[in-house]
């Protein structure tokens, strides 16, 4: 686990934060993440680089820091964390001549350069009108829009223009009609490269929940609740905290994550953050996030352990700040939307459903089937029937015409090269997988009949 000294293996049984205590726990999460961020403000400096690849890492971090600071200023909640050092850094760098020139020289890269001056301007501290002119010329011109972008990236530029009061050449709803919100994201089949576009579509289209800029104040007209609930449970079980935080924020903005599930996720997030002194990027050895951490580790290795730790942890702590602020601002509306809902499930059983989803997502069919069978018929499965049924349907879809379960092209090739013949594969692996999957589906069908 990159940059962490404490193992999450020591975490206790999962619980749930009660609805009335959620705002206080969100402030607690924000303070932990915010303290870590501000103590490392110097590492966000885009001018503190020695190599070109390091420069790109710092630029991205500097941009995300500015979003975090902007949300603290503009959302209708009082920030709970000290942001002084980060604020002073952004204000100082935005007024450097080189920053203004970078905006004009690289207009197609406005996603990297735009948020810092937007934040400083909204904070009322932009002293150089040439910076505002550069930003307006780029967002109001053709170059920023000429690059073909995926919907979430186009919404990012649309979001910047809207913050600046500039009418974009594309309206929000037109962009959304080509986004992942239309087809939906499957809670099991989705990879991270599917999930992040979904969360970013919602963040930018809703303006992170900001009021007064012309952003929609109501949830977007797309039903992706199965994705939000399923992914939240899956990432909670897998201890992948960065995507969990993004799904938590956007599920609340969409009013598609019930308050009880928010409370379960928040309990674990605060516990982990307090254990580490910050929100860790992830736990365990999941390779899907190691690519991000490893890239920054290599880029920053010449600067020492402090910089390497920052490179692997800064993003998730900024997202924790986004999430804590955004969820707190939206919390009263979410509670009102779900005032009819009651829940009686045990959070540990609900975590079991998340574990089933995580196993199935990793194509560990035997483990996933056994865990799904454990959850069948419980209050947790009844609380989220759409997600439970999605998992059952996924498992049914793995049944082949001959009655066996799973599609194993790579496994057969690798084991064949190691001298394992097809009959041996079928006896030692396929038979046990098929038995577990068939037994689980039979037990689930019996539950339904009862």
Say what the pTM is: 0.94
With a cut of 70, say whether residue 4 has pLDDT above it.
no
Give the C-alpha separation, 21 to 2, whole Å: 31
Which residues are CB-contacts of 407 (< 8 A; sequence separation ≥ 6)?
A: 398, 400
> How high is the pLDDT of residue 74?
96
C-alpha radius of gyration, the chain, whole number: 23
Give the C-alpha separation, 357 to 134, whole Å: 48
> How high is the pLDDT of residue 362?
97
pLDDT-derived band at 2 (thresholds 50, 70, 90) equals very low
Residue 43 pairs in a beta bridge with none
pLDDT-derived band at 450 (thresholds 50, 70, 90) equals low
Reported as a single tens digit per residue, the pLDDT across 8-49 is: 556 789 999 999 999 999 999 999 999 999 999 999 999 988
**430: which DSSP letter?**
I
Compute the average pLDDT of residues 40-63. 91
Comparing 294 with 181, the larger pLDDT belongs to 181
What share of the chain has pLDDT > 90, as a percent? Answer: 81
Residues 247 and 269: beta-carbon distance below 8 Å? no
> How high is the pLDDT of residue 75?
96
Comparing 343 with 386, the larger pLDDT belongs to 386
> How high is the pLDDT of residue 1?
35
Distance from the Cα of residue 422 to its chain's centroid: 41
Give the C-alpha separation, 212 to 121, whole Å: 15
What share of the chain has pLDDT > 70, as a percent? Answer: 94
pLDDT-derived band at 3 (thresholds 50, 70, 90) equals very low
Give the C-alpha separation, 226 to 386, whole Å: 6
> How high is the pLDDT of residue 342?
84
Which residues are CB-contacts of 193 (< 8 A; sequence separation ≥ 6)?
A: none
Mean pLDDT is highest, among 8-17, 91-100, 293-302, for 91-100
Phi, psi angles (nearest 5°) of residue 405: -120, 140
> How high is the pLDDT of residue 411?
85
With a cut of 70, say whether residue 6 has pLDDT above it.
no
Give the C-alpha separation, 425 to 432, whole Å: 11
Compute the average pLDDT of residues 427-434. 89
> How high is the pLDDT of residue 124?
97
Give the C-alpha separation, 449 to 85, whole Å: 62
> How high is the pLDDT of residue 136?
96
Closest CA to 238 of 198, 273, 270, 285: 285
Comparing 122 with 425, the larger pLDDT belongs to 122
Q: What is the dihedral of CA 153, 83, 232, 209, to 10 degrees?
A: -60
- The mean pLDDT of the chain is 92
The secondary structure of 263-323 as a DSSP string is HHHHHHHHHHHHHHTS--S-STT-HHHHHHHHHHHHHHGGG-HHHHHHHHHHHHHHHHHHH
Closest CA to 187 of 400, 384, 443, 409: 384
With a cut of 80, say whether residue 7 has pLDDT above it.
no
Comparing 421 with 408, the larger pLDDT belongs to 408
Residue 399 pairs in a beta bridge with 405
Reported as a single tens digit per residue, the pLDDT across 336-378 is: 999 888 888 999 999 999 999 999 999 999 999 999 999 999 9
Which residues are CB-contacts of 41 (< 8 A; sequence separation ≥ 6)?
A: 65, 85, 86, 88, 89
Residue matched to tokens 């997988």: 433
DSSP H or E run through 205: helix 192-205
Task: List the single range of 62-66, 153-157, 219-223, 288-292 with lowest mean pLDDT.
Answer: 288-292
> How high is the pLDDT of residue 283?
54
Compute the average pLDDT of residues 244-268. 97
pLDDT-derived band at 294 (thresholds 50, 70, 90) equals low
With a cut of 70, say whether residue 384 has pLDDT above it.
yes
Comparing 426 with 66, the larger pLDDT belongs to 66
Residues 368 and 356: beta-carbon distance below 8 Å? yes
Entry field: residues in the chain? 450
């Amino acid at each position: 686990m990159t940059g962490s000294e404490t193992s999450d293996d020591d975490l206790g049984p999962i619980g749930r934060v009660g609805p009335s205590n959620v705002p206080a726990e969100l402030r607690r999460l924000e303070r932990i993440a915010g303290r870590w961020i501000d103590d490392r403000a110097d590492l966000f400096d885009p001018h503190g680089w020695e190599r070109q690849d390091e420069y790109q890492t710092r630029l991205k971090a500097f941009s995300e820091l500015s979003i975090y600071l902007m949300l603290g200023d503009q959302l209708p909640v009082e920030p709970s964390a000290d942001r002084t050092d980060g604020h002073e850094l952004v204000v100082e760098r935005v007024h450097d001549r080189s920053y203004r020139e970078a905006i004009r020289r690289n207009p197609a890269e406005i996603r990297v350069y735009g948020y810092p001056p937007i934040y400083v301007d909204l904070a009322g501290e932009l002293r150089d009108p040439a910076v505002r002119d550069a930003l307006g010329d780029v967002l109001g011109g053709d170059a920023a829009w000429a690059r073909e972008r995926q919907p979430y990236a186009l919404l990012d530029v649309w979001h910047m223009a809207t913050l600046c009061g500039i009418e974009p050449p594309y309206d929000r709803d037109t962009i959304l009609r080509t986004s992942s919100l239309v087809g939906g994201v499957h809670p099991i089949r989705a990879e991270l490269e599917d999930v992040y576009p979904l969360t970013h579509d919602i963040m930018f289209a809703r303006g992170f929940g900001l009021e007064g800029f012309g952003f929609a104040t109501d949830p977007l007209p797309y039903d992706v609740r199965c994705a939000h609930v399923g992914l939240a449970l899956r990432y909670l079980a897998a201890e992948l905290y960065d995507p969990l935080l993004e799904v938590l924020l956007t599920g609340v903005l969409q009013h598609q994550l019930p308050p009880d599930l928010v409370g379960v996720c928040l309990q674990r997030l605060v516990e982990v953050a307090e254990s580490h002194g910050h929100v860790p990027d992830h736990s365990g050895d999941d390779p899907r996030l190691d690519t991000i951490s490893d890239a920054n580790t290599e880029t920053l290795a010449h600067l020492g352990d402090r910089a390497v730790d920052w490179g692997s942890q800064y993003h998730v702590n900024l997202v924790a700040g986004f999430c804590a602020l955004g969820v707190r601002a939206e919390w009263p509306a979410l509670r009102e939307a779900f005032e009819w809902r009651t829940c009686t499930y045990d959070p540990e059983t609900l975590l079991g459903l998340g574990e089933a989803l995580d196993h199935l997502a990793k194509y560990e069919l035997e483990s996933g089937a056994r865990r799904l069978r454990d959850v069948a018929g419980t209050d947790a499965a009844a609380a989220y029937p759409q997600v439970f049924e999605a998992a059952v349907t996924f498992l049914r879809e793995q049944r082949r015409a001959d009655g066996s379960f799973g599609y194993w092209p790579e496994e057969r090739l690798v084991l064949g090269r190691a001298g394992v013949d097809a009959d041996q594969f079928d006896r030692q692996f396929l038979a046990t997988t098929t038995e577990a999957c068939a037994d689980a589906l039979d037990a689930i069908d019996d539950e339904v009949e009862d």
